[in-house]
Amino acid sequence: MTDVHKIAEAFRKMADRLDLNVEQGFGGVILAFPPDGEKPIDILILDSEQDAGQFWGVIQAKAKKTLFDLDERERLTKAGFGNIR
């Protein structure tokens, strides 16, 4: 189960990171919390060029990696290696 207080705290921490890096050039922020309590994705992109393509590329790469990891864990579990996390 997801702890809503931990999610709220993650947003506060990201806001602090934004404040500390305001001079670096904002390239985007990603905060994603799966409902199953898995590890969230939290990324602050600093990019003086503010390249939207880079932002969406980071999201795409992170999503692909996460899906790969989930598939691999399921495959190993089905192969009899127990509960892999």
Q: What is the pLDDT of residue 35?
A: 82
In this predicted structure, what is the pLDDT of residue 21? 92
| Domain membership of residue 34 as a residue range | 4-81
Q: How far apart are the C-alpha atoms of 3 and 15, rounded to whole Å?
A: 19
The whole-number average pLDDT for the span 31-57 is 89
Residue 1 scores a pLDDT above 80: no
- The count of structural domains within the chain is 1
Higher pLDDT, 83 or 15: 15
Q: What would the mean pLDDT of 6-18 be, rounded to a whole number?
A: 93
Give the pTM: 0.71
Contacts of 52 (CB under 8 A, 6+ apart): 28
| pLDDT average, residue stretch 19-27 | 90
Which of 19, 62, 66, 25 has the alpha carbon at shortest distance from 43? 62
The whole-angstrom separation of Cα 36 and Cα 15 is: 24
